[in-house]
Chain A
Amino acid sequence: MKILLMGHPNVGKSVFFNRLTGSNVIESNYPGTTVDYTKGYMVLENRDIEVIDVPGTFSLEPKDKAEEVAVKMLEEEKDAIVVCVIDASKIERGLYLTLEIIEKGYPVIIALNMWDVAKDKNIEIDVKNLEKILEVPVIPTVAISGEGIKEVVSRIKEAKPVKIKNIIKNVGG
Chain B
Amino acid sequence: MLSIDERWDLIDKISKKTVKFGKYKHTLKDAVGELTVKPLTGIPVAVAVLYGFWSVFSSFAGFCTDGFLVKIFDGYWLPWLQNIFPGGLHNWLYNLMVDAGHIENGVLVPSDNCFEAFGVLTSGLFVPFGVVLPAVFIFYLMMTLLEDIGYLPRLAVLIDTVLHKIGLHGYAIVPTILGFGCNVPAVTATRILETKKQRFMMMTLLGIFIPCGAQLGIMEEVIPDTMGFVILYLLFGYFVFGFILNKIIPGKSPEILIDIPPYQRPTIHNVRKKVWIRVSGFLKVAVPFVILGCLIVGVMYITGFMDWLANALSPLLTNWFGVPKETVGPLVAAFMRKDLAVAQLSAIEMTKYQMITSVVLVSIYFPCLATFIMILKEGGKELLGSLAALVASVFIFGGLIHLIWILLGVA
A-side contacts of B144, CB under 8 Å: 28
**9 A-B pairs in the complex with CB atoms less than 8 angstroms apart:** A30-B261, A35-B189, A35-B192, A64-B191, A64-B193, A99-B11, A121-B24, A124-B20, A129-B17
Q: Chain A 5-26 against B: per-residue CB contact (8 Å), 1 yes, 0 no?
A: 0001110000000000000101
Across the two chains, which residue of chain B brings its CB closest to A63? B194
Q: Mark A68-97, 1 if CB is under 8 A from B, else 0.
A: 010000000000000000000001100110
Within 8 A of A (CB), among B270-291: 270, 273-274, 277-278
On whether the beta carbons of B2 and A103 are closer than 8 Å, the reply is yes
Q: Which listed residue (B15, B23, B24, B188) contacts A36, Cβ 8 A?
A: B188
Is the pair B277, A26 in contact by a Cβ cutoff of 8 Å? yes
One of A120, A133, A168 near B18 (C-beta < 8 A): A133
Q: Which of A31, A120, A134 contacts B261 (CB 8 A)?
A: A31
Further 9 A-B residue pairs, CB within 8 A, beyond A24-B277, A31-B258, A32-B192: A29-B147, A30-B150, A30-B152, A63-B194, A91-B15, A123-B20, A130-B18, A144-B267, A172-B13
Q: In the bound complex, do residue B149 and residue A29 qualify as a contact, i.e. CB atoms below 8 Å apart?
A: yes
Which among B2, B148, B188, B259 is the interface contact of A31 at CB below 8 angstroms?
B259
In the complex, whether A153 has a CB less than 8 A from a CB of chain B is no
**Identity of the chain B residue whose Cβ is nearest the Cβ of A93 in the assembled complex:** B11
Which A residues are in CB contact (< 8 Å) with B10?
99, 167-168, 171
Q: Which residue of A lies closest to B264 (CB)?
A: A29
Partner of A126, one of B18, B189, B262: B18
Q: Which of A92, A103, A123 contacts B22 (CB 8 A)?
A: A123
CA distance A121 to B258 in the complex (A): 20
Whether B90 is near chain A, meaning CB under 8 Å from some CB there, is no
Residues in B whose Cβ lies below 8 Å from that of A123: 19-22
CA distance A133 to B10 in the complex (A): 11
A122's contact among B17, B24, B270, by CB below 8 Å, is which?
Answer: B24
Residues of chain A within 8 A of B270, CB atoms compared:
27
Q: In the complex, which residue of chain B has the Cβ closest to the Cβ of A65?
A: B191
Chain A residues touching B, range? 35 or more
Q: Which residues of B contact A30 (CB under 8 A)?
A: 147, 150, 152-153, 174, 261
Chain B residues with CB under 8 Å of A8's CB are: 259
Q: Does B14 contact A (CB under 8 A)?
A: yes
Question: B-contacting residues of A (Cβ < 8 Å)?
Answer: 8-10, 24, 26-33, 35-36, 55, 63-66, 69, 91-92, 95-96, 99-100, 103, 117, 120-127, 129-130, 133-134, 144, 164, 167-168, 171-172
Q: Could you tell me the distance in whole angstroms from the C-beta of B253 to the nearest C-beta in chain A?
A: 13
Contact of A99 with B2 in the complex, beta carbons under 8 Å = yes
A residues within 8 A CB of B12? 92
Nearest CB in chain B: distance from A97 CB, A: 10
Q: Is the interface of B mostly helix, strand, loop or mixed?
A: helix
- Residue positions of B touching A, CB distance < 8 A: 1-2, 7-8, 10-15, 17-25, 27, 144, 147-150, 152-153, 171, 174, 188-189, 191-194, 199, 258-259, 261-262, 264, 267, 270, 273-274, 277-278
Known interface pairs A31-B259, A96-B11. Does A126 touch B17 (Cβ–Cβ under 8 Å)? yes
If A30-B261, A120-B27 touch, whether A35 touches B188 (CB-CB below 8 Å) is: yes
In the assembled complex, how far is the CB of residue B177 from the closest CB belonging to chain A, in whole angstroms? 11
Q: Check A125/B13 contact, CB under 8 A, given A31-B261, A65-B191, A65-B199.
A: no
Instruction: Give A48 to B152 CA distance when docked, in angstroms.
Output: 37
Given the interface pairs A91-B15, A120-B27, the reply to whether A28 lies near B148 with Cβ below 8 Å is yes
Contact partners of A144 in chain B: CB under 8 A: 264, 267
Q: How far is the CA of A69 from the CA of B191 in the complex (A)?
A: 10
Task: Please tell me which one of the listed residues B2, B13, B17, B19 contacts residue A124 in the complex, with CB atoms under 8 A apart.
Answer: B19
Partner of B13 from the list A31, A55, A66, A171 (CB cut-off 8 Å) is A171
Whole-angstrom CA separation of A65 from B194 in the bound complex: 7
- Neighbour of B25 across the interface among A91, A95, A122, CB < 8 A: A122
Once A29-B264, A31-B259 are accepted as A-B contacts, the answer to whether A64 and B147 lie under 8 Å apart by CB is no
Residues of B near A134 (CB, < 8 A) are: 14
Chain A residues in 8 Å Cβ range of B22:
121-124
Structural contact, A164 and B2, CB atoms closer than 8 A: yes
CB nearest to B188 among chain A residues: A35
**Chain A residues within an 8 Å CB radius of B11:** 92, 95-96, 99
